[in-house]
Structure 1
């Protein structure tokens, strides 16, 4: 009976292995100020982005530097690889999925060459943004520091 009063919780895994840092520490005012939504960032140690949950690919940027996944619970998750990497026009990014495709947690979405991107002078910090943050009463980081692409990273509680 009391189950109906229990808040819906969505747990998202890290979409990339590396070092998790607070979004406010990202060297980009748009992300750090949470203008696009609340979330977390990961400085990647590998060259692959995976789905943080079961869901559907809502959008994959033509340049391959970002992808949006909608979880089965309705979270709109933007995974943005690097800062200003849109300027690379797709160089060093390989899209592995298409819009509308169903994906499972851990399924590869994008491969990228982090060393080549860094060599071009770009920050490779990868942002994980909940674009519909206003629909949640809580968005909490579950881990900071070292994470792999299966580590529980964010907890979302619906209003």
Structure 2
């Protein structure tokens, strides 16, 4: 995701999920789409990942940023995570 100020954030869901070829994931945006705060980006089927012995760790990687504010917390299923880049 690229913010208006040029900050970039990469969201990576799970370890070795690329081998699933999209199975278990539903995306709600496409490359180039503009989104607003609160926009749903992706859903993933946690029980499906677990049934495939996939590590469901979600990584948020800041590749270009000036200042990032993110609340450190454990996020439950269906809970939003607010990220602010300044």
Instruction: Quickly name the TM-score band, shorter chain normalised.
Output: 0.7 to 0.9
Q: Which runs of 4+ in 1 moved over 6 A?
A: none
Unaligned runs of at least 5 residues, structure 2: none
Higher RCO (Cα < 8 Å, 6 or more apart): 2
Deviation of residue 113 (structure 1)?
0.8
Number of equivalenced pairs: 84
Q: Name which of 111, 123, 128 aligns with 2:55.
A: 123
Unaligned runs of at least 5 residues, structure 1: 1-68
Deviation of residue 144 (structure 1)?
2.4
Give per-residue Cα distances to partners, 1:69-108, cap 9 Å, x unaligned.
1112221011111111111111111222111111111111
CA distance in 2, matches of 1:111, 1:100: 19
**TM-score, length of structure 1 as denominator length:** 0.46
Structure number with larger C-alpha Rg = 1
Deviation of residue 142 (structure 1)?
2.8
**TM-score, length of structure 2 as denominator length:** 0.78
Q: What RMSD over aligned residues (CA atoms) do the two structures have, in Å?
A: 2.2
Q: Name which of 54, 72, 80 aligns with 1:143.
A: 72
CA distance in 1, matches of 2:43, 2:75: 20
Deviation of residue 143 (structure 1)?
2.3
CA distance in 1, matches of 2:71, 2:59: 15
